Structure 1
Amino acid sequence: MSAKLSIVTPSFNQGRFIEETILSVLNQGYEPLEYIVIDGGSTDETVDIIKRYENKISYWVSEKDRGQVEAINKGLARATGDFFGFINSDDVYLPGTFNAVMDHFAKHPGSQWICGDTIMFGADHPTEVIHSEVPKSAAHCLAWAYTAPQPGHFWKTEIVRSGFDEHWSYDFDHDMYIRLLLAGHTCEYIPLPMAAYRLHPVSKTVAENHRQIEEFDRIAEHYEPQLHGADQRWCRATRYLRLSYAASEAGRKRDGARWLMRALATHPEGLKNRPFWGCLRRLLASGGGL
């Protein structure tokens, strides 16, 4: 018998998009599938859309919650599948994803965490395939030296059963990656587009990017003491670069320059490191005029 896959969709007032999300899950053709939708008390057409498919949805509820992370955790607590993934109510899975994911897990019994490629799309954004570079270590993750959008991730349920940290609103997925890496788990890459990540003006990624940067800084500061030597300096330097970027975006040029100098002083050997220069290029591209 095939292993069961549990998928959770957290939702709140995404009636424009959620039907696409639901159908992208239900039309995968994989069995056994457990699909759980946790809605935060939407006041738009979301609930009516969910009801259209409730005979195919394993469990759904619409009630006030504390936000996206609590919704995911509520779904995860109900999940009975061997493997787990979550998809936000404005994103979609690509056809064939579940069969490819579960085939990989079946052929590689030791696999506990995999990630594929993701397509970025939106009305005002050119369609772009993001080829994932999975996080290889906690330092690699904390230095933001990887590219692996969340919709392409799937886990053995038992390794994420403790849930995502509700203290974080934007980077709770990165926090989970760091915890898993520190615990000795590895992320395996599958070179296959698995999901499409929608960019639109009210998506958290677009609308609140500066807050996401600030939150990731707090996450990095929390975990840095668990690193040592060059890894710690590298992560601290890239954290300073992110602060420089954020200050520059906010028009605080002097603060931006100060954080940039601290980054260079903390990890001068980072000048030879591609991720370091990647952060610097993003900083200069911000138009902050350092």
Structure 2
Amino acid sequence: MNLPNLTSYREAFLAKGVGLPLPVVEPHAEGLLNKIPEPAAEKTGWPWNTEVNPGIYDEKINWPKLTIVSPSYNQVGFLEQTIRSVLLQNYPNLEYIIIDGGSNDGSLQIIEKYAPWISYYQSEKDRGQSHAINMGFSLSSGSYHAWINSDDYYLEGVFHLVITNFIKTGVDFIYGYGIDHNILTGEYKLNRILPFIDYFIKIPGLVQPSTFWSSGIHEPIWEELHCALDYELWLRLVKGHRRLLLKQPLSVAHIHDEAKTHSPKMKARWEADHQLIWGPEAHGTVHEWKKIVFLNRIRVKLYRLFKLI
């Protein structure tokens, strides 16, 4: 497994004149809704014409810096919603980074429209989603990290909820439920998950945009992976660290034909990732895989029987 050195990425940014640490998004006591660009008239609700009340952030608390990275490439139909769902949290110590891979569909124009409220952005050809995320986090100075893809968005009040729980509990990793939104049917489906415990960590289950972690446990993404990059990251990043499940949705993922998780065209890519992850130079063969799967099925049945999910 050949993981990149994020320091080299950071040094490349410094060499081209990027000043660090990056500026935080300037907070306003009255919120950002009336300062950022107005959405189209037909766009209503969160995160279009509503915002998190800035007053929920207790001024007596020294709110830790939160770094959000958005990898982006040709998702013009969703990107503005993503950006607004970050900014309109009105989190008082936010570092927001967008790494766009040179989109040619109008995404750059949307990013530029919101540029005054973005800590850093670039739109250049890169080596894909994993590379973009790693570049973004190489610039981070936040105490807590998360990434949100440009076709997903956070739900209202999530940053306050998550950071409050980090402060109260001292855990390293917080995760929650998610909502899948089917673009074709308009259906919204709640995606409940089980507690993410070490023995069952090889069973896919986490909702990627509903995950947040301490910068102290951060690790780079394996850039050879195309689809299962978050799943492989959890194998390294989460195991052995204290974590907390919030039993409510934190994000919405749009289900559409180009989404990697749901595109039939990506089947071969998923299989290639699987071969890499469980190859001898990575995590190796799981000899008790059948036992893990069997016990997990029992676990799922018990949680459903006792209505724990």
TM-score by shorter chain over 0.5: yes
SS of the residue corresponding to residue 103 of structure 2 reads coil
Residue 168 (structure 1) aligned with residue 189 (structure 2):
no
**Contact 2:99 / 2:132 at 8 angstroms: preserved in 1?**
yes
The number of aligned residues is 235
1:143-184 CA-partner distances (Å, limit 9, x unpaired): x2x522100000101211x311112111111111111244x2
**C-alpha distance 273-37 of structure 1, shift in aligned 2 (>3 A):** closer
TM-score (norm 2): 0.71
Note the C-alpha offset of 1:29.
1.5
SS of the residue corresponding to residue 181 of structure 2 reads strand
**C-alpha distance 277-209 of structure 1, shift in aligned 2 (>3 A):** farther
Distance in 2 between the 1:175 and 1:132 partners?
Answer: 18
Partner of 2:24: none
Aligned pairs for 1:217-236 within 5 A: 217-221=275-279, 222-224=282-284, 232-235=286-289
Letter in 1 for 2:183: A
Partner of 2:117: 56
Partner of 1:135: 196
Note the C-alpha offset of 1:120.
0.4
Distance in 2 between the 1:117 and 1:188 partners?
Answer: 12
Partner of 1:193: 249
Note the C-alpha offset of 1:134.
3.8
**Contact 1:36 / 1:58 at 8 angstroms: preserved in 2?**
yes
**Contact 1:70 / 1:166 at 8 angstroms: preserved in 2?**
yes
Select between 166-175 and 58-67 the one with higher mean Cα deviation: 166-175
Select between 205-214 and 124-133 the one with higher mean Cα deviation: 205-214
Say which structure, 1 or 2, has more relative contact order (CA 8 Å, 6+ apart): 2
Residue 123 (structure 1) aligned with residue 146 (structure 2):
no
Letter in 2 for 1:118: G
Distance in 2 between the 1:14 and 1:136 partners?
Answer: 34
SS of the residue corresponding to residue 288 of structure 2 reads helix
SS of the residue corresponding to residue 63 of structure 2 reads coil
SS of the residue corresponding to residue 154 of structure 1 reads strand
Residue 99 (structure 1) aligned with residue 157 (structure 2):
no
User: Percent identity, aligned pairs only?
Assistant: 34
1:189-225 CA-partner distances (Å, limit 9, x unpaired): 0112100011100111111245324423431344245
Structure 2 residue runs of 5 or longer lacking an equivalent are 1-61, 302-309
Residue 22 (structure 1) aligned with residue 83 (structure 2):
yes
Structure 1 residue runs of 5 or longer lacking an equivalent are 226-231, 238-266, 279-290
**C-alpha distance 134-168 of structure 1, shift in aligned 2 (>3 A):** farther
Note the C-alpha offset of 1:276.
10
Partner of 1:212: 270
Distance in 2 between the 1:54 and 1:277 partners?
Answer: 45
**C-alpha distance 68-272 of structure 1, shift in aligned 2 (>3 A):** closer
SS of the residue corresponding to residue 55 of structure 1 reads helix
Partner of 2:74: 13
Distance in 2 between the 1:26 and 1:9 partners?
Answer: 12
Note the C-alpha offset of 1:31.
1.1
Residue 77 (structure 1) aligned with residue 135 (structure 2):
no
**C-alpha distance 130-36 of structure 1, shift in aligned 2 (>3 A):** same
Partner of 1:180: 237
Q: Tell me which protein shows more helix as a share of its residues.
A: 1
Note the C-alpha offset of 1:271.
5.4
How big is the alpha-carbon RMSD for the aligned residues of Structure 1 and Structure 2?
A: 2.2
**Contact 1:115 / 1:132 at 8 angstroms: preserved in 2?**
no
Note the C-alpha offset of 1:124.
2.6
Partner of 1:228: none
**Contact 1:18 / 1:89 at 8 angstroms: preserved in 2?**
yes
Distance in 2 between the 1:157 and 1:149 partners?
Answer: 19
Distance in 2 between the 1:277 and 1:133 partners?
Answer: 8
**C-alpha distance 70-29 of structure 1, shift in aligned 2 (>3 A):** same
Partner of 1:40: 101
**Contact 2:174 / 2:245 at 8 angstroms: preserved in 1?**
yes
